[in-house]
Amino acid sequence: MNDDNDPAWPVELINLNCPNCRCLTSGEREIGLDTALDTLLGTFLSGDRRAAARLISVVENGGPRAEAVLHALYPRLGGAPRVGVTGPPGVGKSTLVDALVRHHRGQGRRVGVVAVDPTSPFTGGAVLGDRVRMSDLATDLGVFIRSMATRGSLGGLARTTKEVVDVLEAFGQEILLIETVGVGQTEMDIASAADTVVVVVSPESGDAIQAMKAGLMEVADLLVVNKADRPGTSQMVRALEADLAMRPAGGWRPPVLVTVASRGEGTDEVAAAVGRHREHLSASGALGERRHARARAEIVAILRDRLWQRVHERLADRLPDWVARVEAGHATPYTAARALLAAFLEDEA
Amino acid sequence: MSDHPAARSGRDLLGGLYRRPDDSNRHVTVSGQEIPLVATPADVADLDYARDLGDPGQYPYTRGIHADMYRGKLWTMRQFAGFGTAEQTNERYRFLLARGQTGLSVAFDLPTLMGRDSDDPWSAGEVGKCGVAISSLEDMETLFAGIPLADVSTSMTINSPAAIIWAMYIAAAENQGADRAKLRGTLQNDILKEFIAQKEFIFPPVPSLKLVVDTIEFASREMPLFNPISISGYHIREAGSTAVQELAFTLADGFAYVDAAIAAGLDVDEFAPRLSFFFNSHLDLFEEIAKFRAARRIWARHLRERYGARNPRSWLLRFHTQTAGCSLTAQQPQLNVVRTAYQALAGVLGGTQSLHTNSLDEALALPSEEAVEIALRTQQILAHEIGVASTIDPLAGSYFVEKLTTEMEAGAEAYFARIAEVGGVIPALEEGFFQREIADAAHWYQQALERKQRVVVGVNEYVNPDEKQQIPLLRIDKDVARSQERKLAALRARRDEAAVRAALGQIETAARDGANLMPRFLDAVRAYATLGEIVGALKAVYGEYTEPIII
Amino acid sequence: MERGIRVLVAKAGLDGHDRGAKVVARALRDAGMEVIYTGVRQTPEMIAEAAVQEDVDAVGLSVLSGAHMHVFPEVLRQLTARGGGDILLTGGGTIGDEDMAELQALGVGRLFGPGASTREIVDYIRAETARRRAQSETR
């Protein structure tokens, strides 16, 4: 329960006016929210899944309440393995994730899954369909599955995803799986949210891989050719291995594995390879490096957001004028930016 | 001639593609296909009577499969029925036969359709709801008690577990003393459209298709009068497809079955004469007639030219028609009688071999006895009062209908090419090609309704503001599930358990070996193994299927 | 910023007729909602648990098999058992007026029969979500 004496549970944090992040500073409304959040956090700690789900929503929706939650949960994070699964559409990512969840459940671990799907840039809506594969895991109390929309990535998909995973870890999930469609920026995001990235392709993925080679292949710690009962599997494996051979020697060499995830074939090997990668990360010190880099990236991202918000607040009035000047050819975008920045710094001072 | 406005408007028709009707001057069919103000000889300039139409009963059968058509034999009036227990449905069948119906058509409940026994936890709430519950041979015997199966033709709407249900039917008939070689009827048994549209699948596509081939082989060797499959567009259309999609996907499925049977070592002329089809008859009268005519022509051409079938009976596309359930309205339900009558007319003008007319209350519940009688009487009026059954294919030569028929064929051929590009029907359904096409069409149709680009009388126009639901609905007895559970418990206690286990073991072995499973199913049902047990044995070998999500 | 609306769209039981569920899912997405689509063949437990984990504002069930008098009360019961009794349970299908009234008396939200427009459904979920959010804030 919400026990103020529990050292792992710094409830006082959320009731403090935190000078560093300006959250919860003033106003009756925010104080009111605190009480509600406080109760919610307490219920969360007692293992209530509805409370966990609500905290995830709070974190996803951002703002001061999200910060308060993350503050409170931060001490509860231990370093549970975070595995990203990405790849082109239709290669069977959800099926592989499903098989990995079963593997870990078989070993008695609590599993958290975050499945990310794109938000429509036109309507802001999204259809999140990844639960389908995992439907019979829906009633397994050791599994918590959450679908997320990219929501135009305000503040960065990577950060929100990571924070949602944080909540799941704080809830006691011992292994965290993050599934995203690898169709552009998202694979870079997943790389920064996960310790191990599994890139899944199918024998038919040739064109898709060509198109995203630069991004997708480079983030891979593990390559999986799923649907390996289809023709073209061995060619795909050879092509991937040839590609990997071009990488500089030394360090971790990503293995190429084959699976028929729909029948559970080869999926234990994938789980084992993920484990080996993790051991490699710990032994080589790379895990520390990754988490270090992630912490840095997070700070930078938050800073960038905050700065931009601030800049935007201050300069929103003056921006249209400069846009017009650039449009008319009276100024270059650089001149405009320089002038605006100067104005901002002056205001701040 | 080419300056005629109608001749020009004909050129911008796109076969197979529906269009957004954003221009209010455009008229489109219920499938979104643009149609001209008037058709002219220019629209049929390329049509060659002998090549493209042929006399009725002549290749390519565009005009009909028989030379005498309905003068020789009227279509079979076959009302789909089933609800509650086998006893209750048996009573309804006797009622329908007494009212002049000429064939039986069994509707099974969802648990049966999904291969589950009435006492399975998944069956909760569904037992006997949208059809009759059949869990064992015992239920099948009750269903047909007092109805001589040697003399009636029975259609059974069952897919994933079709082979097992068929085994129960054969065993029940043989227990009545009937000779299996004389049994007549049709098994729906079209698993591909389940993956595409209706989603009542159990096993993955490949073993599912293998089960179908087993039944085709069994029918061609032992049950020469039974249609082992009814390749169905009905459900594809109900799922929201256009007319061209219904036509194209159904025939593509048909070709996939032909390919699979040939791959299993059968000769095309050995089984093709027993393949039958099942189409929807929707609201757009001429589009539907064109669809039926095009279907016959395409099938005949492909079977003869692509598959090299020699037996003319292999070229014939025989089909059952059901009026469009999705066109029925819950508002002012009496109007559904009118809609259904027009749809039935399209089926008859299109040359159907059998017909089901929907009952007026089916947007609200399973049909009441009174509603079913009106539906059946609708067909009798068509057959005997309005004179449409006397002359074969009366619309042949109509510029408009021939033009639509040609476009239907072209649209379907375009889809065949796209399906081939994806690698065939199974890869296409696994990656959601059909599902996406259908979902897009359904979405378009819904939008058209909401923007009132299409009028549905009583729903989005001409609404009766004071309407109260007043028609009597059929209520399904809540005790059906309990009575089924009791019956199953008694059956399980009574039967020879060792024989059941042995028969189930044989099924698993045969499934692993790839042997024809029909003989094994017959043994198992005779030992009173239940449907759920037999399906369970198959799941152990084949696994279960999860579909890709397409919104 | 106004929090987006999340809706779980599900097909309960063995019924596979998913045209209505998909058309509605698409309409809700086009109205800017986040739609969690569970696909066909869901038990009431699966639906309720998914609704809770996904923290949805509403659950929309499509039932065409005649099993609605079993499915809706059971999902409601399972939601309540998981502390999700405040989640709006709505839906549609071939459901007669009498049954609709009976289900609404149990606490199920509005149900939509054949011919309902997706606009009505969108408007209803928006209004009902706003009402429920306001209510929980004043509590």
Question: Could you tell me the pLDDT band of residue B9, with boundaries at 50, 70 and 90?
Answer: very low
Position B248 in a domain: yes
Read off the tokens for C16: 């596979």
Range of the domain at A160: 82-284
Range of the domain at C42: 6-138
Euclidean distance between CA atoms A214 and B230, whole angstroms? 50
Query: Which of chain C's residues have a Cβ under 8 Å away from the Cβ of B450?
Result: 117-119
Read off the tokens for B512: 């692993």
C41 touches chain A (CB under 8 A): yes
B536 pLDDT more than 60: yes
Q: Which of A98, A119, A130, A133 to mutate to test the interface with B (most CBs of B within 10 A)?
A: A133
Q: What is the pLDDT of residue B431?
A: 87
Largest CA distance in chain A: 68
Residues B186 and B320 sit within 8 Å (Cβ to Cβ): yes
- Mean pLDDT for all residues in chain A: 82
Of the candidates C27, C6, C55, the one whose C-alpha atom is nearest the C-alpha of residue C122 is: C27
CB contact under 8 A, A129 and B204: no
Position B419 in a domain: yes
Those of residues 385-404 in B touching chain C at CB distance below 8 A are none
Residues B548 and B430 sit within 8 Å (Cβ to Cβ): yes
Position A1 in a domain: no
| H and E: helices and strands count for chain C | 5, 5
B62 vs A295: which has the higher pLDDT? B62
Residue B167's CATH number: 3.20.20.240
**Structurally, how many domains does chain C consist of?**
1
Question: Could you tell me the pLDDT band of residue B230, with boundaries at 50, 70 and 90?
Answer: very high
- Cα A26 to chain centroid distance, Å, stands at 31
DSSP labels for B86-138?
HHHHHHHHHHHHHTT--SEEEEBPHHHHTT--TTSGGGTTTTTTSSB---SHH
- Cα A223 to chain centroid distance, Å, stands at 19
**Other CB atoms within 10 Å distance of the CB of residue B476:** 22
pLDDT tens digits for range B54-97: 999 999 999 999 999 999 999 988 878 878 899 999 998 988 88
Q: What is the ipTM of this complex?
A: 0.93
The strand order across the sheet containing B80-81 reads B80-81, B104-107, B153-157, B184-187, B226-227
C33 touches chain A (CB under 8 A): yes
Position C65 in a domain: yes
Question: Could you tell me the pLDDT band of residue A181, with boundaries at 50, 70 and 90?
Answer: confident
Position B316 in a domain: yes
Q: What is the pLDDT of residue A91?
A: 87
Position C38 in a domain: yes
Angstrom CA distances, B539 to A263, B204, B534, stand at: 12, 10, 9
For chain B, the chains sharing at least 3 beta-carbon pairs closer than 8 angstroms are A, C
DSSP labels for C89-131?
EEEEES--HHHHHHHHHHT---EE-TT--HHHHHHHHHHHHHH
List the single range of A155-169, B535-549, C30-44 with lowest mean pLDDT. A155-169
Position B459 in a domain: no
pLDDT tens digits for range B435-455: 999 999 999 999 999 998 889
Residue finishing a domain among A256, A284, A312? A284
Euclidean distance between CA atoms A139 and A158, whole angstroms? 28
List the single range of B212-216, B284-288, C134-138 with lowest mean pLDDT. C134-138
Question: In chain A, what is the straight-line distance between the N-terminal and C-terminal CA atoms, in Å?
Answer: 47
A53 pLDDT more than 90: yes
Rounded to an integer, the average pLDDT of B121-145 is 93
Rounded to an integer, the average pLDDT of A40-57 is 94
Residues A275 and A313 in one domain: no
Of the candidates B142, B138, B131, the one whose C-alpha atom is nearest the C-alpha of residue B90 is: B142
Nearest CB among A95, A127, A133 relative to B551 is that of A127
Q: Rounded to 5 degrees, what angle do the CA atoms A76, A80, A81 make? A: 155
Read off the tokens for B111: 């648990």
Q: What is the pLDDT of residue B46?
A: 95
Position A3 in a domain: no
B551 vs C83: which has the higher pLDDT? C83
Residue C109's CATH number: 3.40.50.280
Partners of C22 in beta bridges: none
Question: Could you tell me the pLDDT band of residue A31, with boundaries at 50, 70 and 90?
Answer: very low
Position A48 in a domain: yes
Per DSSP, helices labelled H in chain A are: 11-15, 28-45, 49-61, 63-73, 93-106, 157-170, 186-193, 206-212, 218-219, 233-245, 267-284, 286-315, 319-328, 333-348
Question: Could you tell me the pLDDT band of residue A59, with boundaries at 50, 70 and 90?
Answer: very high
A247 pLDDT more than 80: no
A49 touches chain C (CB under 8 A): yes
Which residue of chain A has the CA closest to B431? A90
**Structurally, how many domains does chain A consist of?**
3
CB contact under 8 A, C15 and B110: yes
Nearest CB among C19, C39, C74 relative to B239 is that of C19
3-state secondary structure (DSSP) of residue B501: helix
Q: What is the pLDDT of residue A175?
A: 97
B532 touches chain C (CB under 8 A): no
- Mean pLDDT for all residues in chain C: 92
**How much of chain B, in percent, has pLDDT values that exceed 90?**
79
Residues B402 and B9 sit within 8 Å (Cβ to Cβ): no
CB contact under 8 A, A57 and C55: yes
Of the candidates C106, C119, C43, C62, the one whose C-alpha atom is nearest the C-alpha of residue C80 is: C106
Position B384 in a domain: yes
Euclidean distance between CA atoms B56 and A208, whole angstroms? 51
Angstrom CA distances, B356 to B186, B279, B320, C66, stand at: 14, 11, 8, 21
The strand order across the sheet containing B319-323 reads B76-77, B354-356, B319-323, B275-281, B229-232
Q: What is the pLDDT of residue A23?
A: 42
pLDDT tens digits for range B495-531: 999 999 999 999 999 999 999 999 999 999 999 999 9
Position C49 in a domain: yes
Q: What is the pLDDT of residue B364?
A: 84
3-state secondary structure (DSSP) of residue B432: coil
Residues A307 and A189 in one domain: no
pLDDT tens digits for range C51-99: 999 999 999 999 988 889 999 999 999 999 999 999 999 999 988 888 9
Position C1 in a domain: no
Phi and psi, residue C90, nearest 5°: -130, -175
pLDDT tens digits for range B373-394: 999 999 999 999 999 999 999 9
Would you tell me the crossing angle of helices B433-450 and B399-422 to the nearest 10 degrees?
A: 140
Nearest CB among B124, B442, B443 relative to C70 is that of B124
Euclidean distance between CA atoms B537 and B542, whole angstroms? 9
Euclidean distance between CA atoms B477 and B505, whole angstroms? 37
Indicate the burial class of B267 (C-beta count within 10 angstroms; 0-12, 13-18, 19 or more): middle
Q: Which of C72, C94, C98, C99 to mutate to test the interface with B (most CBs of B within 10 A)?
A: C94
B11 pLDDT more than 60: no
Residues A89 and A63 in one domain: no
Those of residues 114-133 in A touching chain B at CB distance below 8 A are 127, 129, 132-133
A173 touches chain B (CB under 8 A): no
A124 touches chain C (CB under 8 A): yes
Of the candidates A258, A281, A96, the one whose C-alpha atom is nearest the C-alpha of residue A196 is: A281
Q: Look up residue C81 and give its amino acid.
A: A
Of the candidates C27, B430, C34, B197, the one whose C-alpha atom is nearest the C-alpha of residue A131 is: C34
B473 pLDDT more than 80: no
B215 pLDDT more than 60: yes
Rounded to an integer, the average pLDDT of B356-384 is 92
Residues A311 and A228 in one domain: no
Q: What is the pLDDT of residue A157?
A: 66
B12 pLDDT more than 60: no
Residues A118 and A265 in one domain: yes
Residues B154 and B103 sit within 8 Å (Cβ to Cβ): yes
Range of the domain at B404: 50-450
Residue A109's CATH number: 3.40.50.300
Residues A86 and A227 in one domain: yes
B3 pLDDT more than 70: no
**Other CB atoms within 10 Å distance of the CB of residue B498:** 9
Euclidean distance between CA atoms C115 and C93, whole angstroms? 10
Residues A235 and A182 in one domain: yes
Rounded to an integer, the average pLDDT of A229-252 is 85
Position B307 in a domain: yes
Residue with tokens 């079979």: B76
List the single range of A201-210, A289-298, B132-141, B246-255 with lowest mean pLDDT. A201-210
Euclidean distance between CA atoms B248 and B251, whole angstroms? 5
Query: Which of chain B's residues have a Cβ under 8 Å away from the Cβ of C97?
Result: 468-469
Residues B233 and B246 sit within 8 Å (Cβ to Cβ): yes
Rounded to an integer, the average pLDDT of A239-261 is 86
Euclidean distance between CA atoms C73 and B203, whole angstroms? 31
Question: Could you tell me the pLDDT band of residue A213, with boundaries at 50, 70 and 90?
Answer: low
B10 pLDDT more than 70: no
A95 touches chain B (CB under 8 A): yes
Q: Is the dihedral of CA A53, A59, A62, A66 positive or negative?
A: positive
**Structurally, how many domains does chain B consist of?**
1
Angstrom CA distances, B461 to B330, B449, B455, C114, stand at: 14, 10, 6, 15
Question: Could you tell me the pLDDT band of residue B293, with boundaries at 50, 70 and 90?
Answer: very high
Phi and psi, residue A319, nearest 5°: -60, -45
Would you tell me the crossing angle of helices B285-301 and B335-349 to the nearest 10 degrees?
A: 30
List the single range of A187-191, A253-257, B287-291 with lowest mean pLDDT. A187-191
Q: What is the pLDDT of residue B469?
A: 67
Residues A276 and A303 in one domain: no
Query: Which of chain A's residues have a Cβ under 8 Å away from the Cβ of B431?
Result: 90
Residues A127 and A186 in one domain: yes
Read off the tokens for B460: 């989005």
Question: Could you tell me the pLDDT band of residue A20, with boundaries at 50, 70 and 90?
Answer: very low
The one-character DSSP state at A151 is: G
Read off the tokens for A200: 């899944």
Question: Could you tell me the pLDDT band of residue A295, with boundaries at 50, 70 and 90?
Answer: confident
Indicate the burial class of A249 (C-beta count within 10 angstroms; 0-12, 13-18, 19 or more): exposed
Rounded to an integer, the average pLDDT of A27-46 is 71
Residues A252 and A130 in one domain: yes
Question: Could you tell me the pLDDT band of residue B1, with boundaries at 50, 70 and 90?
Answer: very low
Partners of C42 in beta bridges: C12
Q: What is the pLDDT of residue A294?
A: 81
Position B26 in a domain: no
B7 pLDDT more than 70: no
A12 pLDDT more than 80: no
Question: Could you tell me the pLDDT band of residue A87, with boundaries at 50, 70 and 90?
Answer: confident
Question: Could you tell me the pLDDT band of residue A210, with boundaries at 50, 70 and 90?
Answer: low
CA atoms within 13 A on the CB side of A149: 25
Position B121 in a domain: yes
Of the candidates B375, B320, B361, the one whose C-alpha atom is nearest the C-alpha of residue B96 is: B375
Read off the tokens for B514: 């790839």
A17 pLDDT more than 50: no
List the single range of A306-310, B167-171, B209-213 with lowest mean pLDDT. A306-310
B198 pLDDT more than 80: yes
A264 pLDDT more than 70: yes
A7 pLDDT more than 50: no
Q: What is the pLDDT of residue A1?
A: 37
Position C12 in a domain: yes
DSSP labels for A299-345?
HHHHHHHHHHHHHHHHHTTTHHHHHHHHHHTSS-HHHHHHHHHHHHH
Question: Could you tell me the pLDDT band of residue A289, with boundaries at 50, 70 and 90?
Answer: confident
Nearest CB among C29, C42, C84 relative to A127 is that of C29
